[in-house]
Structure 1
């Protein structure tokens, strides 16, 4: 494969699609300020739920998640443990 696949049209299209949804960070749950400079720690980045180094697909929309740059960097190539869902009522 020639060049960086993250600068190709399919990856840029996937990033634009995810950005347009204005989702909160999937790792911490807080809102993302989509107007911040890309170098800001709380800016938007595309994160892969299944890391690429562990067999995740670069261009699969089902593997793409919105995340803060800081949260994405802290996660590294680990797969985060899922938080247990809270019950809707007190039992």
Structure 2
């Protein structure tokens, strides 16, 4: 049994490379703070995939990898495009 590929060295290397670039979250456009707990903080860095893995995206393809906040990545789910924020109506 090969184990989880997300625990493998190639995946960890891709995550480290993407994190080192310092790119903002590709979903919301805000900077990703470097000094927060990556396992629990909603603004922590996560590696998101442009084409979700559940839809055939490649786990280790750098062209499919994007920097994202944990919260943004989770809210996007497995959609192929970021969720568009709806403007609230001022007329009630």
Runs of 4+ in 1 over 3 A off after TM superposition: none
Number of aligned residue pairs: give it.
Answer: 83
TM-score, normalization: structure 1?
0.86
Conserved 8 A contact 2:76-2:82: no
* Aligned twin of 1:33: 33
Any idea what SS the aligned residue of 1:17 has? helix
Establish whether residue 47 from structure 1 lines up as the match of residue 32 from structure 2: no
Could you say which residue in structure 1 is the equivalent of 2:64?
A: 63
> What residue number does 1:87 align with?
none
Match of 2:22?
A: 22
Q: Do the aligned partners of residues 81 and 69 (structure 1) sit closer, same or farther apart at CA in structure 2, a change above 3 Å counting? A: closer
Q: CA RMSD in A?
A: 1.6
SS in 1 for 2:46: strand
